[in-house]
Amino acid sequence: MLTLYHGNTSVCSAKVRIGLAEKRLEWDGVLLNLAKNEQNDPAYLKLNPNGVVPTLVDDDLIVVESSVILEYVDELSAENPLMPADRKARARTRVWLTRCIDIHAAINTMTFSTVMRQQILASKSAEEIEASIAKMANPATAAKRRNLLENGLRSAEVMAAFFTLRRMFDDMQQALETQPWLFGAQYSLADTALLAYVDRLERLGMQQLWVDRTPRVGDWLAASRSRPSFAAAYDPYIDPQADAKMRAGGDALWPDVKRQWDRFIAAR
């Protein structure tokens, strides 16, 4: 039996849950409370030394990195294949899967420089914040979190995130101009891999990032969300109140995000 260590609202956990649902595979879940830092408990760090979710365990095999997990999950059965059959499309899919490392970092930046930053600063003292950051296993992740909480949208991380996201939107738009999914008529691994990231941006109230320049991204998001795999991956895990709070926080911060985005686009 597969065991997935995951988090309710974690984007890369949702990404794997979507893949498991698309493949219609049985799995056991171990939910970690990220706000309580359970991802940095010594027992979990033995599975995932970076102190992050998701982690998939299949008997004696431990798989980390959500894109690697997705590809592994796809290979577990020949039914409902997500990897395209065409060799070039497979190579292009793997490029998207590799880009997901940067894309995840960009989504983390947009989350913790805006809504999560506000929620954390409003609910925790400086000492509590520092104690929580000090528990993070990976010093690079801890330094980034400290930077985002200190600087918000002024952080240089935000421009790096915009660079990654603009490329993602542009490449998605180009692919989706002539076809419903990234690799044609068939929903595939690349669609599965990107959905949770674009979904998070929408929950952060940032849909205007694509509405004018790359509108096919919005159509693709709506079509992806209408698949049963999306409901399976999200409905049991999303707290509607927390979700509404995230959207309201994002809407309030949108003018600040837009100002930075416009500055970024103008400089290109």
Ligand X SMILES: N[C@@H](CCC(=O)N[C@@H](CS)C(=O)NCC(=O)O)C(=O)O
Binding segment toward ligand X, per CB under 6 A, in 51-59, 168-176, 224-232, 238-246: 51-59
Peptide bond into 84 cis (omega under 30): no
Q: Determine, following the binding rule CB under 6 A, whether residue 257 of this chain makes contact with ligand X.
A: no
Q: Determine, following the binding rule CB under 6 A, whether residue 52 of this chain makes contact with ligand X.
A: yes
Residues 99-118 that bind ligand X (CB under 6 A): 101, 104
Binding segment toward ligand X, per CB under 6 A, in 48-56, 84-92, 152-160, 175-183: 48-56
Strand-pairing partners, residue 6, are 31
The residues, ordered by sequence, that sit 6+ positions from 63 with a Cβ below 8 Å of its Cβ are 55, 56, 57, 69, 72
The residues, ordered by sequence, that sit 6+ positions from 26 with a Cβ below 8 Å of its Cβ are 1, 2
Q: Determine, following the binding rule CB under 6 A, whether residue 34 of this chain makes contact with ligand X.
A: yes
Binding segment toward ligand X, per CB under 6 A, in 52-60, 90-98, 175-183, 228-236: 52-60
d(CA 180, CA 173): 11
Q: Is 63 in contact with 69 (CB distance < 8 Å)?
A: yes
Q: Determine, following the binding rule CB under 6 A, whether residue 136 of this chain makes contact with ligand X.
A: yes
Q: Determine, following the binding rule CB under 6 A, whether residue 194 of this chain makes contact with ligand X.
A: no
Polymer length of the chain: 268
Under the rule (CB under 6 A), what is the footprint of ligand X? 7, 10-12, 34, 39, 51-54, 65-66, 101, 104, 136
